[in-house]
Structure formats: C-alpha cells, structure tokens
Chains A and B, each alone.
Chain A
Amino acid sequence: MSLKEKLISSFIALENKGSVDLDSNIHNIRTKAIEVFEQKGFPTKKDEEWKYTSLKSILKHNYSVFPSSENSVEVNDIKKYFIQGIESYKIVFIDGVYSSFLSETTHDGFDICLLSSAIKKTKHKIVTDYYFNTLANKNDSITALNTAFTTEGTYIHIPKNVMVPKPIQLMYFYTGKENEVMLQPRNLIIVGENSHVQIVERHQCLTKKATVLTNAVTEIFAHKRAIVDWYKIQNDTENASLIDSTFVEQRENSIVSVNTYSFGGKLTRNNLEFHQKGEHIVSNLNGISVLNKKQHVDHHTLVNHIEPNCESHELYKGIYNNASTGVFNGKVIVKKEAQKTNAYQQNNSILIGDKAAVNAKPQLEIFADDVKCSHGCTIGQLDESALFYMQQRGIPKAEAKALLLFAFANDVVEKIKIPELKTTITKLIADKLGVELGFNL
C-alpha cells in the first residue's frame, strides 16, 4: 500500500474514530481537503514548484499516521531545546499530543492554547470558523493533506492593543517510540490591531534512529498595525524531514517578519506565502541555511503585493558543506494596483563541499509600473585573500573560515530581536561549522 493510499484510508479511520466532530464546519473543510489530496497526490519533480526537490526518498517509509498517545519525556532531555535564560509561554507537543505538564498557556487577556480545544469552545469557535483554512492554499496537495488531518496544533489569538509580555515557544517533540511516524500539526494565529507578539517554533526529534516526517501548516493573520516576529528553528536529526507551509495575511501598516534557520534534518521544505491586503505593509523574510552531509533545504517564498505603498524585504543566506543541496525559489508578484511597491530580494550562497549544489530561481512578476523591485542572487566561495590575510595573522584556517562564514551570515543574525535567541542561533551556527569561537556575536 502506498503512503497515499494509507493516508486516505487513515482519513476514513479518523472520521470513524469519533474523536472528531462530524457536524462542524471544519469537518466539511477536511472532507474537501482529502478530495484534493486524493486527486493530486504527492507532488513529483514534474511539478514546477517541486522541480528541485524530490520527495521520493521520504515517501517510501511506512509511516504510522496516528502515533500512540501519552508518551512522556524527561524534562532534562528536552530542556536544551528551549531558549535559555528567558521567560516565555510554552506550548509543548510530544508525538503530536499536547503535554500540559511541560506547557505554559494562558487565557488571561489573550489566548494561547490548543487548536483542538479552541474548536470545541463556542467562544473560540466563532473565531476559528471565521479564519480557519481561509488563507492556506486549498489547491496544494501537501497543505490539503494537513488540512484533512487537522486535529491538533497551536491556537493563538491576541486581541486589540496587547503587547504580549514574553515570547511564545512552540515546541513539537518526537520521542521515537515508533520507528516511522508522520506528524501533521496545524497552527492558527490571529494578532489583533496594534498588538505585538514574538513566536519561536521548533520541531525536534529526540532520537537519531527514528524516521519522522512533519507536515506542518501555519496560518497567521496580522491586523492593522500589528507586529509579528516569527522564528523557525530547524535543526532536526538526520532522519527527520519537515515540510512547513506558512501563510501570512497582513492588513494596513502591519509588520510581519518570518525568520527561518535551517541547520538540520534530512529534507526540509519551507513554503512561505505573504499576502498583503492593505497599504503601508512591511513584510520581512529572512533565512540562514547551514547544511552538512547530504541534507537538503528548499526555500519557496511568495510575496503577493496586492495594494499600493507596501514593502517586502527578503534576505536568504546559505552555506552548503559536503554534499548538501539547497534550493531557493523566491517569487514576488506585484499586482496592477500595487503602485509604489518596494520589493527587494537577495539570495547569497556559499558552496564549500565538492558535491554541494544550489539551485536558485528568483522570480519577479510585475504588472505595475511605478515600483522599485530588484533581486540579487550570488553563488560563490570564500575570498581566498581574506582567508590568507587572517592566516598570516595567526588565526588557524578552520577558525578563519568560520569567522568569514559568520560574517557572511551575520546580517541575518542581526535581525533577531530576542537577544537570548541570537545567542542560541550563534551557538548553533558555530556548532554546525564545527568550531569553538569563544565569543558571542
């Protein structure tokens, strides 16, 4: 039985299990979604959007779709994955199941809780019915698959004029109790007018042996003048794969930044879509990829400029060691009405391994004339003379290299607004480059 067939029959099992409400609006959405998936199946390399990423190697596994519930973990085992020295709200999932013991949620002034409980409560149901699945791409089979299996995830609803006092950490752990598991968390985030929130998201497998495929979908709605900072840390084990689809809708004067740090995992695919529905919107997309071995990262971004006077800034840096491969596909669409748009996109890659490869496709589609749009894309190596200069001054080659690579990635690191997170990311990069720097950037 292929994975596709298994998933479709699992969907029927899910419906029959009785754990999901069959009368709700969400039930209808799910049924439609599974039809889309049934019709389209998993994307292949023949799809233009998947030209450089083959899912073949990760789809051959016999994933169990419903992991056994209530697996517990020791706090000490997972402690290191949280950002150190910082107060935060936490939502922790173990094998797709919410762990109230490890989490710190709230309903005081704003809601940080579970999607499953939000759907059930009348108070939240109005909100979820209004927003849920209105933004996610309904024709994308991978996203549809997630929609069909929506059972659990994070629900964050920040009303008007709230400054969320501390960051929110979303942690998705996988214990590896079963060898092959597919997880499909679904997140819904609504940020009201003038509100501000910082969110850190991490998917982490706790053992190296287990094979896990995470298909995550997140919808973010940012209302007028809202500020949302989103950080995605992707440093998973070598058998863990992640397909992450994030959809952002912005209203007037809002600022949304999504930062993606890809350091690990077997295959990581990031679909990131911004839809600007209002004037004077700023969208920031930043990314650092540092890859080793045969890892593969694919960044697919879309910025849809619909209204005038908006900006988007995109900056992706990649360092590819050994036989790792990277893909960058950045699409910017400027609609006819979106005059005075400023859209900038930059993608820089450094290849270090002799089998490393990069495929880039920075793509502009512009229908308005009074715009400033540019994209830049470079692929190259470290500057030999800079390396020589540093070696001359007694810095060993490995450190010199690492320093230069740090400098290369630094303008993305500098955009992190949580100091403790900056330290974490710096450490992760140092770790990945295999050096002890003895200082923090």
Chain B
Amino acid sequence: MNKFTEDDLKKELETKEYEYGFYTDIEADKFPVGLNEDVVIAISKKKNEPKWMTDWRLEAFRIWKEMEEPEWANINYKKPDFQNISYYSAPKQKPTLDSLDQVDPELLKTFEKLGISIDEQKRLSNVAVDVVMDSVSVATTFKKTLNEKGIIFCPISEAIQKHPDLVKKYLGSIVPKTDNFYAALNSAVFSDGSFCYIPKGVTCPMELSTYFRINEGGTGQFERTLVIADKGSYVSYLEGCTAPQRDENQLHAAVVELIALDDAEIKYSTVQNWFPGDDKGKGGVFNFVTKRGLCETNAKISWTQVETGSAITWKYPSCILKGDNAVGEFYSIAVTNNYQQADTGTKMIHLGNNTKSTIISKGVSAGKSQNSYRGLVQIHSKAKNARNFSQCDSLLMGNECGAHTFPYIECKNQTAQIEHEATTSKIGEDQLFYCNQRGIDTEKAIALIVNGFSKEVLNKLPMEFAVEAQKLLEISLEGSVG
C-alpha cells in the first residue's frame, strides 16, 4: 500500500491547481482606470441614483482621500495602486430578471462549472439566489415567495430607488464612511450588492444567498451589503465567492452591515474561495472586507466563515452587542496555502447587560503561508454579566508556514466572565498511529483529523453550504480526501 504521509499531502497541496480558475468571456461595460470625483459621480449616474446618494458617495470619497492605508495587519503585500483600477464594470448584455431563459448562456455555463447552476439551486435546494456577476445583479429568483412575506431582497441599487427611507436610515450606520480606509473607499465607489429587509416577526422561509464573482481582469469589486432584520424576525444569509484565475492582483473591498433589531436573529455565512495566487505567490485576490453587525435587545448575530481563497485576507466580522441579552457568535475556518496570507478574526463589543459572545476560530496553514487570528473582546464598564468564550486553534503543516494569534481582551466590568484559549499543533503522530491501528490508512486518517479539526465550524453552516465548504477544504487542503 502506498503510504500517504504528511509530506505527500504537503506536496499535493502545493501542486494542486486552482480548479475554479476560468474566465468567462462576456463583453463588459467598463470605466477607464483611475479614481476622482468625476468617476464617483459617473458611477452614481450610471446607477441612476438620487442626489442624496451621490452626495453621500462624494463625502465618502473626500474622507477616503485624507486617509492612509492601514499597516498594522500581519500581512506583506505590494500596495495596490488605486489610480490603476477600473471602478466600474457591468456585463453589457443585461438580462431581464424574471426568467432564467433570458440569462446569457455563457453566464449560466460559468455557474454550472462552479456547481451552483441556478436552476439546480432553484429546484433542489429551495434557495433564492441573487447572482452578482461583476457588480450587477443578473438574476433574481424566488422573489414571489419572498414578496408574499413582505421580505425585500434585491440589489442595493434597486433598494436605493425603491426603498430610500430604509437605505438612508441604515446605510453607513454600522460601518460609517470614516470607519477605515477600505470602508471609505467602498462607500465612495460601491457598484452594487444586496439589500435585505425582513419585516417584524417574519421568519424568512428560505436561505437567502448571493454568489459573488469577480470576472473582468483589473476591476476591483466593491460590494455593499445591508441586511436589516426587524423586531422578532429571523434570516439566514449565505454568501459564497469564487474568482477566475488571473495574474494581476485584484482588489476587493466589500462592506457588510447587519442590523438585528429587538429579538431578531441574523445568521450570516460566507464561503470565500477567490483565486489565492499560484504556487509562486503570483496573482491572487486582495480581500479587504469590513463586516459588522449591531444587536439590539435580545437579538443575535452569528457569523460563520470559511476562508480558503484570496492572496491576502483582511477581514474582521464583528458584533456590537448594544442591547441587553444580545448574543454574538463567530465561527471561522481559515485555510492558507502557498503564499497566502490571512489576517482575520472578530471583534465583540459588549455594551448591554447579560450579553454573550462565542468565538471559535480554526486556522490551518500549509506551504509558505501566514495565518493570523486577530480578535478583540471588549467589555464596557456598564455591561453587567457579560460572558465571552473564545477558542482559537491552529494547525501547522510544514515549517515554512506561520500561525499567529493576536487576541485583545479588554475588560472594564467586574461581573464579566471571559475565557480565552488558543492552541497550536500539528497532526500528532499518536493520532495517526491510533487511526492506523484501527485499520484507517494514513491518507484517510489525515482527512479525518483535518475534518474533525474544522467540524465545529462546518457544523454551523447551513446544509447546502456545508457540502460546498467541505469541497473547498478538499481543494485547498485535503487533496485526495473524499
């Protein structure tokens, strides 16, 4: 029997090609490179936005101009030239939204390759898909069912037109324009994204999902997502990403804002598998994302993420636990390989009484990659009986990669209970031996252990996603495991 050792696995990881790297040839409507006020106005015009929105963008742009790119993260990269990026790109043949037949067959093929063909999704998994292909939504399904419940689920550009009150009230309320460099940039130039509003007391009957893809080479994608769950409502939102293989670095700076009003619950799951660069560290997506949620009284926000792609990941999905009894959760698996660098984690800000937060973060590093967990647990002086549990585990494969943890714990209230633990290890010889003893060969044993290592987080994903996430883990790590 061929022994499958960790070295083999390592080798396999290094040679494993990015399976989803292809490039759909759709003629795109694209802006020339560069960024100035005119470009911001042009984007706004293109979207037919009202004046308040244009002004909002311009203000963000002015703020952005004064800001500097942050350097504190544990990542090394050549800073993107922001004047060498095209800030808008939309597929030219814009299909109408009511029928799949009108969608460009080329586009459909792309999704089929990804294994997320829209009709399959529609038929089998009962998921409403708002497909974002290079910044413009091209298909929206299950609208009717959602409409009946009063749920608004549409591209944000449409929401700006149709529901300006909601957008005006909440856009930028959680992630203000001044928040950070990338958030300001996004606020100025965001092209599209999803908007979701769940009315009072409504439980969303299906998983809402959006697939993001970056398609046109040299185009930055600036998504803006706004999810509002009104009092007593529930929604599970899924976001998944793959990107075609390209040589130049692509920039992605998204902003996601979640608002959970009293007694509401939002579950936000992400699978991110953008092109990580080749085994020489060439190419790959730069992923600078600001995600934040606000919990009012008795509300709950749960972030689950599987990060396997991107050359650079800079992402800290956070919860502001403002109301009493609010709950924040963060479950994450970050897998890095070759020259990938991930600096990811969460912030839990406890403001209300009896607030609870849970952080489970799993990092797997292989090749020459660097994987960092950076988290903040902050208990304010007025937050009584706050509770936090954090766990970050790292698994290292090979001695050329690195695992880092930067947990910040700030406690200003004596009634708080905080637990934090972190471990770093490799797949133990004894663990493998135990499996071998029981007739499980080394290959399967490694798969079993890595799977077990990430199970805690994978279990938190909705069914449909869990399968896909496992598939992604296979690609980025497990090689022959099946």
Contact = CB atoms under 8 A, between A and B. Distances in A.
A350 to B, nearest CB: 9
Nearest to B394: A366
Interface string B410-448: 111111111111111110000000000000000000000
A43 B404 CA distance: 25
Contacts of B420: 360, 362, 375-378
A359 B411 contact: yes
A356 B414 CA distance: 7
B446 to A, nearest CB: 14
Contacts of A359: 408-411
Contacts of A361: 406-409
22 contacts: A336-B400, A352-B414, A354-B413, A357-B410, A357-B411, A357-B412, A358-B410, A359-B411, A360-B411, A362-B405, A368-B399, A369-B397, A369-B398, A369-B426, A370-B426, A374-B423, A375-B405, A375-B420, A376-B420, A378-B419, A379-B411, A380-B419
A368 B401 CA distance: 7
B407 A358 contact: no
Contacts, number: 117
Interface string B368-400: 000000000000010000000000001011111
A379 B416 contact: yes
A8 to B, nearest CB: 30
Contacts of B405: 362-364, 375
B175 interface: no
A154 B72 CA distance: 39
A273 to B, nearest CB: 18
B399 A339 contact: yes
Nearest to B365: A369
B403 interface: yes
B396 A366 contact: yes
A360 B408 CA distance: 6
A364 B405 CA distance: 5
B425 A372 contact: yes
Given A357-B381, A369-B401, A375-B405, 9 more contacts: A358-B411, A361-B407, A363-B404, A366-B403, A371-B396, A376-B420, A377-B409, A379-B416, A381-B414
B43 to A, nearest CB: 36
A59 to B, nearest CB: 24
A377 B404 contact: no
A380 B413 CA distance: 9
Contact of A379 (B418, B422, B424, B426): B418
Most buried by A among B414, B420, B421: B414
Contacts of A353: 414
What class of interface size applies to chain B in its complex with A? 20 to 34
Contacts of A339: 399
B68 to A, nearest CB: 14
Nearest to B412: A357
Interface of A: 48, 52, 336, 339, 349, 351-381
B309 interface: no
B318 to A, nearest CB: 17
Q: Which of A351, A357, A379, A380 has the most CB of B within 10 A?
A: A379
Given A336-B399, A362-B420, A364-B405, A371 B414 contact: no
Nearest to B396: A369
B402 interface: yes
Given A351-B416, A378-B419, A379-B417, A371 B408 contact: no
B449 to A, nearest CB: 14
Contacts of B421: 374-377
Contacts of A364: 394, 403-405, 422, 424
Contact of B424 (A352, A358, A371, A376): A371
Nearest to A320: B414
A361 B424 CA distance: 16
Contacts of B396: 366, 368-369, 371
Nearest to A336: B399
The 5 A-B pairs of least Cβ separation, nearest first, read A369-B396, A351-B414, A377-B420, A379-B418, A360-B409
B425 A358 contact: no
A228 to B, nearest CB: 28
A377 B406 CA distance: 13
A377 B419 contact: yes
Contacts of B418: 377-380
Contacts of B400: 336
A336 B416 CA distance: 38
Contacts of A358: 409-411
Contacts of B415: 351, 381
A352 B408 CA distance: 21
Contact of B414 (A48, A354, A366, A370): A354
Contact of A367 (B399, B409, B416, B423): B399
A338 to B, nearest CB: 9
A380 B414 CA distance: 7
A364 B424 CA distance: 9
Contacts of B401: 367, 369
Most A-side CB within 10 Å, residue of B413, B419, B420, B424: B424
B414 A377 contact: no
Interface in B280-330: none
